[in-house]
């Protein structure tokens, strides 16, 4: 079977990881004016747009552009910048500069699509249109953490939601699609939709799924079909058409999806490991917490006097 690394340049996949890692941190970015993480809000926003009939390719490009800019700007998304008084051209300029710091590792075709989308960026707020109930439920449904048959569960706090994970897989898949010859819109849809069943089914992890045995696939199929009934027929059919690619990595779409899925799962664990090992020296030295400015000398004198 063709592997992801055989289908995509190894060097670009490797240099893409820092970009994907920073995009994934939007799972942990929150703002005072809205509930949920930036990733969860983008997940709901994407499903609302899709359910309203938006072109999946446009939604994918706009959300990938918003994700790249958000990796640098955090909660300063398009809608917030507009609320701060910036006119649309100024908003696009800020977002383009932010995304431009991270898009150098992307396939040239991907980079062109993202830069074009930044001229009409996705906002930060959920639009005034119906949101599928499964999208809201997936924001509440926590991921199981690391599990293995016969072993104690490793509970990682705080747990990410299924919306966080599905959004990340959708964005990663769309960003990697050109490298493996996949359709970015399909990769985005598959990432968003691959855990539809968990809107109703709590996540027991790999260990729990093994215990379900032969019951697992029928349950997943039944609950996925139930979630799809919440979408207009044409949209549901489009989503249903990409779901079979979850089965293996034998197609370009399957390769984009499985690369995105495994990268997000492993990067999430790396996040917890980095957070647990974080030191004050990293903040003070590596991240220049006390940075240059008109009062930096005074700041440093205060810290010396305080023994810090």
DSSP one-letter string for 112-181? HHHHHHTTS---SSPPSS---HHHHHHHH-B---B--TTS--B--SSPPBHHHHHHHHHHHHHHHHHHHT
The confidence score (pLDDT) of residue 142 equals 93
The confidence score (pLDDT) of residue 240 equals 98
Model pTM score: 0.88
Check whether 199 has a pLDDT greater than 90.
yes
Place 127 in a pLDDT band, splitting at 50, 70 and 90.
Answer: low
- Percent of the chain past pLDDT 70, that is, above it, reads 92
Check whether 276 has a pLDDT greater than 80.
no
Check whether 278 has a pLDDT greater than 70.
no
Which of 90-94, 226-230, 247-251, 302-306 has the lowest average pLDDT? Answer: 302-306
* Domain assignment present for 129: yes
Among candidate residues 59, 8, 36, the one with its CA nearest the CA of residue 239: 59
Mean pLDDT of 273-297: 75
* Domain assignment present for 240: yes
For residue 34, give its domain range: 4-277
**Sign, Cα dihedral of 212, 215, 220, 226:** negative
Domain count, the chain: 1
Report the half-sphere exposure of 129 (CA within 13 A, side-chain side).
13
* Domain assignment present for 70: yes
Neighbours of 15 (CB within 10 A): 13
* Domain assignment present for 287: no
* Domain assignment present for 260: yes
């Amino acid at each position: 079977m063709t592997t992801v690394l055989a289908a995509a340049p190894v060097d670009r996949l490797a240099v893409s990881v820092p970009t994907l890692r920073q995009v994934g941190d939007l799972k942990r970015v929150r703002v005072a004016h809205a509930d949920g993480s930036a990733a969860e809000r983008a997940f709901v926003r994407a499903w609302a747009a899709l359910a309203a009939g938006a072109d999946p390719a446009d939604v994918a490009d706009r959300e990938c552009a918003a994700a790249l800019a958000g990796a640098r700007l955090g909660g300063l998304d398009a809608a917030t910048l507009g609320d701060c008084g910036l006119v649309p051209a100024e908003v696009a300029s800020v977002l383009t500069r932010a995304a431009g710091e991270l898009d150098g590792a992307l396939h040239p075709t991907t980079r062109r699509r993202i830069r074009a989308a930044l001229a009409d960026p996705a906002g930060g707020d959920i639009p005034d249109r119906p949101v599928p109930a499964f999208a809201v439920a997936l924001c509440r449904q926590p991921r199981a953490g690391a599990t293995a048959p016969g072993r104690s569960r490793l509970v990682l706090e705080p747990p990410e939601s299924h919306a966080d994970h599905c959004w990340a897989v959708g964005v990663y898949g769309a960003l990697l699609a050109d490298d493996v010859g996949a359709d970015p819109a399909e990769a985005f849809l598959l990432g968003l939709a691959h855990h539809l069943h968990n809107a109703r089914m709590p996540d027991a992890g790999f260990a729990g799924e093994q215990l379900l045995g032969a019951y697992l696939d029928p349950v997943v199929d039944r609950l996925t079909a139930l979630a799809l009934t919440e979408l207009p027929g044409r949209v549901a059919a489009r989503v249903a058409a990409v779901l079979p690619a979850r089965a293996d990595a034998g197609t370009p779409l399957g390769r984009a999806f499985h690369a995105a899925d495994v990268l997000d799962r492993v990067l999430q664990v790396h996040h917890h490991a980095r957070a647990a090992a974080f030191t004050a020296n990293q903040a003070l030295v590596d991240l220049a917490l006390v940075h240059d400015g008109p009062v930096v000398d005074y700041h440093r004198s205060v810290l010396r006097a305080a023994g810090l």
